[in-house]
Chain A
Amino acid sequence: MERSSSFPIVKKKVGNVSTRRIVVTSGKGGVGKTTTTANLGAALAMRGHRVVLVDADIGLRNLDLVLGLEKRIVFDIVEVAEGRCQLRQALIKDKRFESLAILPAAQTREKEALTAEQFAGVIAGLDEFADFVLIDCPAGIETGFRNAVAGAKEALVVTTPEVSAIRDADRVIGKLLEVPMPISLIVNRLRPEMVRSGDMLAVEDVCEVLNATLVGVVPDDEEIIDTTNRGEPIVLDESNRLRTIYEKIARRLEGEDIPITSFEKPTFFKRLIGAITTG
């Protein structure tokens, strides 16, 4: 098969401990897990890492659509787990990037089709293909969530600055801390003008509530809807500011210490507190 042979297979020792297995999760749906997975994965691949993105949303898959790969799906994660194909055969290489592939979810099966052990087993098999494995978690905290988390060693929680999203993220972080695993946080879809007018929570407010390390703030961008519909991750657009933002998040995940750009002007009150505490 052309598809599988074109995938760069670097034979690594079995049990590659350096592969990062990260679950992208949120509790609440529609906050941007899939978009984050696609763009962050693409940004990591553009930086030379071998990346596999796993769609854990069995029955409601969308990662393939967001990357425009839906017509190239032959096998899926359930078929891999059931031994009906090789893991390598199920990987779909995204030719726009050097080293990005996805492992699609099954669309006509249930989340219960896989046990947590089966799921984790498939993910562990990806170590030989990838430096980064990003697992796109389904919404909610049911079986699909538990499976996705079972495959990961660390978590990236995505939230929007809305009370309901933050409450759900807090609940999810509570569950992740029980595992436990390191937790990073992305605040997605910030509208700075709404923060300034007092109609949206500021990043500081979100971080105060949630017990996680902030690795990025992504502003709301209307281009996202269109690029997502067309299956072209926004990081491919050199003129879009989100490209730089995702690239910086990728570098922070690599461990680089890059300050987070503030999209907010500090309020008088916050500056006052700052002056007192630093003085």
Chain B
Amino acid sequence: MHERQLEIEEAVVPAARGRAIVITSGKGGVGKTTTTANLGTALAMRGARVALVDADIGLRNLDIVLGLESRVKHHLLDVIEGGVTLEEALVPSKYNESLVLLAAAQHREKDEVPTEAMTALIERLRERFDYVLVDCPAGIEHGFRNAIAGAQEAIVVCTPEVSAVRDVDRVIGLLGNRFKPQLIVNRLRPQLVKRGKMLSVEDVNAILRLPLLGVIADEPEIIITTNKGEPLALRRDGATGAAYHAMAAKIAGEDVEAPMVEVRESFFGRLGAFFGGKA
């Protein structure tokens, strides 16, 4: 009887599993957590079931960016160690019912999480969700190795800075061929690019040579929404919100152009060009 029931369940559960994507960069502070929160929000707004996993044990922040810090009761290690069920640990988003967070433990260490346990946890999440986005910690230590362990795909976030490009290049090397990494160039300041004071998207990708998922501009709004715990992607109207939605569509397999940031000429730039300056 019991066996029979199992057979039926197996027949009902679709074979297709969700996609586990790790968001990584090597360098810290380039926007991994913000990207995870916004892409997750945009994917959920398309109707997908999305789980966001904070893999930064000891230095968690994804809960803050999603405005869920006071709702976190249990964390990833509680689940791995069997203290609570997965259902109990998942914190639903305030804004979207198909988006949930699995928080990191704040007062534990990354080396307390065995890599196999992390892989098994991501597998379990893939059974229930269409997308599992893993927010990777900075660096390339144990935390990084755990975060990539359960994923099949990677999105690497890079800012247009020489140091970030070098770190990302190192991470791409460590990822190898398994993860089909795609690139997001984050925090581009078009005016600085225009004035030759910042690397362009082409400069960055001349070194990294990855399929470009999209480009996000450096906007004060990002800091504001992050501090407030309201991901910018909740609104589709602004340029940045729209860019996250375009990237989500691309991830979902739609044939859309990678969102770019328009390098507008500033008034002074044009003035300079007019007078034969090097603008």
Residues of A within 8 A of B (CB): 27-31, 34, 59-60, 62, 65-66, 107, 110-112, 138-144, 162-164, 167-168, 171, 191, 194, 199-201, 222-223, 225-226, 228-229
Contact = CB atoms under 8 A, between A and B. Distances in A.
B140 A59 contact: yes
B74 interface: no
A226 B162 CA distance: 10
Contact of A142 (B30, B111, B159, B198): B111
B113 to A, nearest CB: 12
Contacts of A34: 163
A199 B224 contact: yes
Contacts of B138: 28-30, 138-140
Interface of B: 26-30, 33, 58-59, 61, 64-65, 106, 109-111, 137-143, 159-163, 166-167, 170, 189, 192, 197-199, 220, 223-224, 226-227
16 contacts: A29-B139, A31-B28, A62-B27, A110-B140, A112-B141, A138-B139, A139-B137, A140-B58, A141-B58, A142-B142, A142-B143, A143-B142, A162-B223, A162-B227, A164-B61, A200-B223
Contacts of A60: 26-27, 139-140, 166-167, 170
Contacts of A111: 139, 141
A4 B141 CA distance: 32
Nearest to B137: A140
B170 A228 contact: no
Nearest to A229: B162
A29 B61 CA distance: 12
A167 B226 CA distance: 13
Contacts of B161: 225, 228-229
Contacts of A225: 160-161, 189, 192, 197-198
Contacts of A62: 27, 163, 166-167
Given A29-B139, A59-B170, A62-B163, A164 B33 contact: yes
Given A29-B28, A199-B224, A225-B198, A140 B139 contact: yes
A167 B170 contact: no
Given A139-B138, A164-B226, A30 B30 contact: yes
Nearest to A107: B170
Given A29-B138, A139-B27, 20 more contacts: A29-B27, A60-B167, A62-B166, A66-B163, A111-B139, A139-B28, A141-B59, A142-B139, A143-B141, A163-B226, A163-B227, A164-B33, A164-B65, A199-B227, A222-B197, A225-B189, A225-B192, A225-B198, A226-B192, A228-B162
Contact of B220 (A27, A141, A199, A228): A199
Contacts of B198: 225-226, 229
Contacts of A31: 28-29
A171 to B, nearest CB: 6
Nearest to A191: B220
A144 B59 contact: no
Contacts, number: 126
B28 A140 contact: yes
A226 B198 CA distance: 6
B220 A30 contact: no
Contacts of B61: 28, 164, 167-168
A144 B139 contact: yes
A119 B141 CA distance: 17
A28 B96 CA distance: 28
A167 B69 CA distance: 11
Contacts of B139: 29, 59-60, 111, 138-140, 142, 144
Sort A-B residue pairs by CB-CB distance and give the 7 closest, nearest first.
A29-B28, A30-B29, A29-B138, A139-B28, A139-B138, A164-B61, A62-B163
Given A60-B170, A143-B141, A28 B192 contact: no
Contacts of A141: 58-59, 109
Contact of B29 (A28, A191, A222): A28
A107 B26 CA distance: 13
Contacts of B166: 60, 62, 65
Contacts of A138: 138-139
Contact of A164 (B30, B58, B64): B64
Nearest to A193: B220
Contacts of A228: 161-163
Given A139-B138, A142-B142, A28 B167 contact: no
Contacts of A107: 170
A66 B224 CA distance: 29
Contacts of B220: 191, 194, 199
A169 B61 CA distance: 12
A191 B187 CA distance: 16
Nearest to B224: A199
A174 to B, nearest CB: 9
A142 B145 CA distance: 13
